[in-house]
Chains A and B, each alone.
Chain A
Amino acid sequence: MIYLIDPANLKGKKCKKYECDIVCKLCITLCPLDIIQPLYSVPPEEG
């Protein structure tokens, strides 16, 4: 089998909407799965 969409990547890519399971009709388009989003990092110290 050739996995075109790998279920492990669905979680592994840490797309915020999927990681948090928020997928509404308005916001789903904010979160295309293929965009890897290094999200939820703590904001760096100022300066």
Chain B
Amino acid sequence: MPKKSLYNHFQRFNDEYYIAYNARSGAVALMTPQNYELYAQMMDKLSADTNAKFNDEESELLKQLEYGKFVCGSDFDEQRALKFEHHLGKYGQSMVGLVIAPTMNCNMACEYCYEENKSGRMSEQMRDALMEFTKGFLGSLRQLDVTWYGGEPLLAMDIIEDLTQRFFDLCREQRIGYNGSIVTNGYLMTPDVTDRLEKLWVRNGQITLDGPARLHNKKRPLKNGKDSFATIIENLVYAVPKINISIRVNIDQSFSVDTIRELLAELRQADLHDKVAISFGHLEASTQVCANIAESCYDTLAFSKTEADFYRILLSEGFRVERIPAPASVACMAQIVNSFVVDPNGYLYRCWNYVGDLAKSMGNIKDSLDFQNKNFVRLFDVNPFEEAACRECNLLPLCMGGCPARRADRNLKGEEMCDSWKYNLEPMLEIIAAYKQLEAQRKASEQE
């Protein structure tokens, strides 16, 4: 007999519908109030009698609920299944994820940067070692996932080209799938560079714009003091048909609704409003290097409210809404055995925030991997199922205990670790549902 899932969320949407969301499947659905009532009655019936019989209408609804994992078999242990998926995600051998910083040099001087200002490029010898390191995974390897990172990776475009060609050769020879992404400040992503990146299968790019031009230019000036906003926008206009671009806006207390509207107006003016995804990053003092910004940062509760307000503006201004509460088997790459951040000197890290900080390295690509290294274990071993607050949380499938580095570095526990979903799920589901309805209407009218 069926039982209701531990990970269900139902909320009123409007006069016509309820929103039904399940954190384990990621399903978001609309239900009529009649169906919601019917669901509640069925669950009541089941708690009174586990062998309760259902009529045709109830059975049909049950089928639809099962599809979204809103109900499961009474003998199905959802927590155990979640734990199993978590282990699969952690120990999977078919994929290797490399976040490669070909240089630590950067052309910007952002006030909140968590990286110490380091220079250095990956030498040819180190690139050879990186290829040998990658070949070490052959056998079980089916997918190679490379993200170019830095510093500013486009300052080392020659290295990106060289390594990608070598990865291509390896992948062709071994019949391994390949995917590339880049995190860049976008200033050097000229049309020529975009064309080259496209050929290198860089399909996704993340670029940061910290507000409208007047603010971005203050927060993210070039090292020579010049402005960067206009050039980045110009580059984006060329890049968006070729590379999936996501714009990250790092939010601190200096951002207001008006600030966001100003940025959106500038993006609309460049005709980018329906061509880029925008996400809001929660700025936090994650390392000692950026401790100076701590006072201007939001705590998670305040950030979650601001985040929902900003997404509401995206919706009302006709921008894409692409933050969705999708389940993940692990919190991040730190918990995946075969995912590594690699710096220009071949040092390996578990977290993007640590790149260049040798005290947090788990070894070097030239040496054998040591899975007992304290800097590997420290984040890899973070286990949300060991903490009652996480284990019992009905949003656990979404965050899987949250950022392991945040937990380990700042000694956070329980609700201190919660993601903004914990506080803004309801308004965000409303925004997502409204956006999906608009999208469906738009598609329907295009087909007419």
**Interface digits, B13-54 against A, CB 8 Å rule (1 contact, 0 not)?**
000010010100111111100010000000000000000000
**Interface digits, B71-84 against A, CB 8 Å rule (1 contact, 0 not)?**
00000000000000
Known: A24-B403, A37-B203, A42-B177. A1 touches B64 (CB 8 A): yes
**Interface digits, B384-417 against A, CB 8 Å rule (1 contact, 0 not)?**
0000000000000000000100000000000000
Contacting chain A: which of B130-138, B254-262, B265-273, B431-439?
Answer: B431-439
A21:B178 contact, CB within 8 angstroms: no
Residue of A nearest to B439 (CB): A34
A29:B176 contact, CB within 8 angstroms: no
**Interface digits, A11-40 against B, CB 8 Å rule (1 contact, 0 not)?**
000001010111111111111111101011
A4:B332 contact, CB within 8 angstroms: no
B68:A3 contact, CB within 8 angstroms: yes
Known: A27-B147, A30-B206. A20 touches B97 (CB 8 A): yes
Residue of A nearest to B142 (CB): A40
Known: A32-B244, A37-B244, A42-B177. A21 touches B437 (CB 8 A): no
Residue of B nearest to A39 (CB): B179
A28 to chain B, nearest CB (A): 8
Distance in angstroms between the alpha carbons of A24 and B131 in the assembled complex: 25
Chain B residues whose C-beta falls within 8 Å of the C-beta of A47 in the assembled complex: none
A26:B183 contact, CB within 8 angstroms: yes
From B89, B147, B175, B332, A30 is in contact (CB under 8 Å) with B147
Distance in angstroms between the alpha carbons of A43 and B170 in the assembled complex: 9
Chain A residues whose C-beta falls within 8 Å of the C-beta of B327 in the assembled complex: 10
B443 to chain A, nearest CB (A): 12
Distance in angstroms between the alpha carbons of A31 and B17 in the assembled complex: 29
Residue of B nearest to A3 (CB): B29
From B168, B279, B432, A4 is in contact (CB under 8 Å) with B432
B93 at the interface (CB under 8 A from A): no
Known: A10-B326, A22-B330, A23-B328. A31 touches B27 (CB 8 A): no
B220 at the interface (CB under 8 A from A): no
A3:B28 contact, CB within 8 angstroms: yes
Main secondary structure of the interface of A (DSSP, over half): loop
Residue of A nearest to B27 (CB): A7
From A1, A16, A29, B279 is in contact (CB under 8 Å) with A29
Known: A7-B69, A32-B322. A24 touches B331 (CB 8 A): yes
A42:B178 contact, CB within 8 angstroms: yes
A47 to chain B, nearest CB (A): 12
B145:A20 contact, CB within 8 angstroms: yes
B6 at the interface (CB under 8 A from A): no
From B171, B248, B328, A21 is in contact (CB under 8 Å) with B328
B246:A32 contact, CB within 8 angstroms: yes
A5:B204 contact, CB within 8 angstroms: no
B172:A23 contact, CB within 8 angstroms: no
B328:A18 contact, CB within 8 angstroms: yes
From B67, B172, B324, A33 is in contact (CB under 8 Å) with B324
A40 to chain B, nearest CB (A): 3
**Interface digits, B177-215 against A, CB 8 Å rule (1 contact, 0 not)?**
111010100000000000000000101111000000000
Chain B residues whose C-beta falls within 8 Å of the C-beta of A22 in the assembled complex: 97, 145, 328, 330, 332-333, 336, 339
B178:A40 contact, CB within 8 angstroms: yes
From A3, A10, A27, A34, B181 is in contact (CB under 8 Å) with A27
A40:B172 contact, CB within 8 angstroms: no
Known: A18-B328, A26-B183. A1 touches B30 (CB 8 A): yes
B65 at the interface (CB under 8 A from A): yes
Chain A residues whose C-beta falls within 8 Å of the C-beta of B281 in the assembled complex: 25, 29
Distance in angstroms between the alpha carbons of A3 and B179 in the assembled complex: 30
From A20, A30, A31, A45, B143 is in contact (CB under 8 Å) with A20
Chain B residues whose C-beta falls within 8 Å of the C-beta of A1 in the assembled complex: 20, 29-31, 35, 61, 64-65, 68
B95 at the interface (CB under 8 A from A): yes
Chain A residues whose C-beta falls within 8 Å of the C-beta of B175 in the assembled complex: 42
Known: A40-B177, A41-B177. A5 touches B436 (CB 8 A): yes
Known: A22-B330, A22-B333, A37-B203. A10 touches B26 (CB 8 A): yes
Chain B residues whose C-beta falls within 8 Å of the C-beta of A44 in the assembled complex: 172
Q: Which residues of A are at the interface with B, using a C-beta cutoff of 8 A? A: 1-7, 10, 16, 18, 20-35, 37, 39-45
**25 A-B residue pairings within 8 Å (CB atoms):** A1-B68, A2-B17, A2-B30, A3-B27, A4-B29, A4-B440, A5-B28, A5-B432, A6-B27, A10-B326, A21-B330, A22-B330, A24-B331, A26-B332, A29-B206, A29-B277, A30-B181, A30-B183, A30-B205, A32-B244, A39-B179, A41-B177, A42-B176, A42-B177, A42-B178
